[in-house]
């Protein structure tokens, strides 16, 4: 049991699998799709699976204690970039060398998966400086002048919001002034255009900013469904009209099963909440949820309904108006404190 239609999928290479103790007929019945193969392919497959000979992969014995198995390529530490003001530890210099080699390969990158606190930020900054030094050296050797127009595009660094200030401060404290020109793309970015990025070496931003800008671009390409009015991308609209909405929509078998399950769960919930069958518009009284209980009690008490954010909003409004939390004006000078000795 399990899986779609009661089948459990398990994909194996026939050359790597042996099933001893089963006859050909038992094996033929337990393997789905065997009978769809040509007769010659069936014979080869069943003979391979029931063979007493070990698979090729098991014939090769591997000694995990062998020195040749444990060896790894020697990585020579890279020299610290001249503009980097902080010394690198040996493993950080090795990481810098590894990253620079990857940048020069066809892969053009990699994943630096050091543990937390091992200096991944300083290694990445060192790599940016090293790559810039190499580019400047190539231009100097070719006798070409470096201008802001022909500089390579900046490196985009996307970090969590909590690490944005850390990256900015790390570049300021660990790099000679003017060696890396940094643009923080975070606040006040509404009027930023493509030309504003020219001349910068690094652009710092966060995941939420990237997601917000991506959604703005995506929303421009969304189209409204003529039947329900919901907006979708053109590629999603095809699926929406084919399976979900419109006179020509046909539910797939999987969607039909899902709807039956959903309707059954809704019916059970309505019976539990003692809601009569019918449309939602037939239910005059709101559902007995905690929020509706709260609204009903506040209405009976004649008090306004407040959310968890109302207190914070009012506190900010009072602070902006120069009022104390209690509503009185904030006094510039504290009152004299009188002390009486009894």
pLDDT digits (tens, 9 = 90+) for 1-19: 444 555 556 677 888 888 8
Rounded distance, CA 30 to CA 17, Å? 15
The whole-angstrom separation of Cα 121 and Cα 96 is 11
What letter would DSSP give residue 198?
A: T
Give the separation between CA 283 and CA 275, rounded to whole angstroms: 7
- Domain that includes residue 137, residue range: 90-216
Residue where one domain finishes, among candidates 216, 249, 282: 216
Domain boundary among 160, 191, 216: 216
When computed from its CA atoms, the radius of gyration of the chain, rounded to whole angstroms, is: 34
Query: Are 33 and 2 a contacting pair, CB within 8 Å?
Result: no
Cite the DSSP H helix spans in the chain: 24-30, 39-49, 56-59, 67-70, 90-104, 120-141, 164-174, 207-220, 234-239, 253-272, 290-301, 310-320
Contact 59, 16 (CB under 8 A): no
pLDDT for 334: 44
Domain stop point among 216, 231, 247: 216
196 and 131 in a single domain? The answer is yes
3-state helix, strand, coil in the chain (%, to 5): 45, 5, 45
Distance CA 210, CA 243 (A): 32
Kindly state whether residues 20 and 100 are assigned to the same domain.
Answer: no
Query: Is residue 285 in some structural domain?
Result: no
In a domain, 40, yes or no: yes
Residue 194 lies in a domain: yes
Quickly tell me which residue has 């899986």 as its tokens. Answer: 3
Q: What local confidence, expressed as pLDDT, does residue 295 receive?
A: 82
User: Does residue 162 sit in helix, strand or coil?
Assistant: helix
166-171 contacts at long range (C-beta below 8 A, 24 or more positions apart): 166/121, 167/121, 167/204, 168/204, 170/121, 170/122, 170/125, 171/125, 171/202
Q: Are strands 223-224 and 231-232 parallel, antiparallel or unpaired?
A: antiparallel
Q: Are residues 119 and 199 in the same domain?
A: yes
Would residue 73 count as lying in a domain? no
Q: Tens-of-pLDDT digits for all 342 residues of the chain?
A: 444 555 556 677 888 888 878 888 888 887 878 888 899 888 888 888 888 887 777 777 777 777 777 677 788 999 999 999 999 999 999 999 999 999 998 888 999 999 999 999 999 999 999 999 999 999 888 888 877 677 889 999 999 999 999 999 999 999 999 999 999 999 888 889 988 998 899 999 999 999 999 999 999 999 999 999 999 999 999 989 988 888 888 877 877 788 788 888 878 877 787 766 655 445 456 666 787 778 888 888 888 887 766 776 676 676 666 565 555 554 444 444 343 444
Tokens of 12: 């194996």
Domain with residue 208: its CATH number is 3.40.50.10810
Task: In whole angstroms, give the CA distance from residue 154 to residue 182.
Answer: 9
d(CA 51, CA 23): 11
pLDDT of residue 213: 92
Instruction: Assess if residue 340 is contained within a domain.
Output: no
Task: Give the number of domains in the chain.
Answer: 2
User: Would 76 be classed as within a structural domain?
Assistant: no
């Amino acid at each position: 049991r399990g899986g779609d239609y009661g089948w459990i999928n398990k994909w194996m290479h026939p050359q790597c699998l042996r099933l001893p103790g089963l006859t050909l007929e038992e094996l033929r019945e337990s393997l789905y799709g065997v009978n769809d193969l040509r007769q010659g392919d069936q014979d080869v497959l069943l003979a391979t699976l029931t063979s007493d000979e070990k698979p090729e992969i098991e014939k090769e014995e591997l000694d995990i204690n062998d020195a040749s198995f444990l060896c790894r390529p020697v990585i020579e530490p890279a020299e610290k970039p001249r503009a980097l003001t902080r010394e690198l530890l040996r493993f950080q210099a090795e990481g810098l060398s590894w990253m620079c080699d990857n940048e020069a390969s066809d892969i053009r990158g990699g994943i630096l998966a050091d543990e937390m606190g091992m200096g991944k930020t300083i290694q990445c900054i060192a790599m940016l400086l090293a790559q810039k030094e190499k580019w400047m050296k190539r231009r100097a050797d070719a006798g070409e002048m470096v201008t802001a127009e022909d500089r390579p595009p900046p490196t985009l660094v996307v970090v969590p919001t909590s690490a944005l200030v850390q990256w900015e401060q790390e570049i300021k404290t660990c790099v000679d002034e003017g060696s890396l020109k940094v643009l923080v793309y975070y606040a006040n970015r509404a009027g930023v255009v493509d030309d504003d990025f020219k001349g910068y070496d690094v652009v710092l931003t966060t995941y939420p900013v990237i997601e917000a800008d991506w959604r703005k671009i995506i929303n421009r390409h969304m189209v409204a469904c003529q039947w329900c009015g919901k907006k979708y991308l053109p590629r999603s609209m095809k699926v929406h009209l084919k399976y979900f909405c419109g006179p020509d929509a046909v539910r797939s078998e999987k969607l039909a099963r899902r709807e039956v399950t959903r309707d059954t769960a809704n019916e059970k919930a309505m019976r539990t909440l003692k809601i009569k069958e019918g449309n939602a518009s037939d239910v005059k009284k709101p559902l007995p949820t905690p929020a509706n209980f709260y609204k009903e009690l506040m209405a009976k008490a004649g008090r306004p309904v407040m959310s968890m954010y109302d207190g914070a909003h009012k506190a900010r409004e009072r602070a902006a108006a120069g009022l104390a939390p209690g509503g009185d004006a904030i006094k510039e000078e504290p009152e004299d404190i009188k002390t009486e000795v009894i």
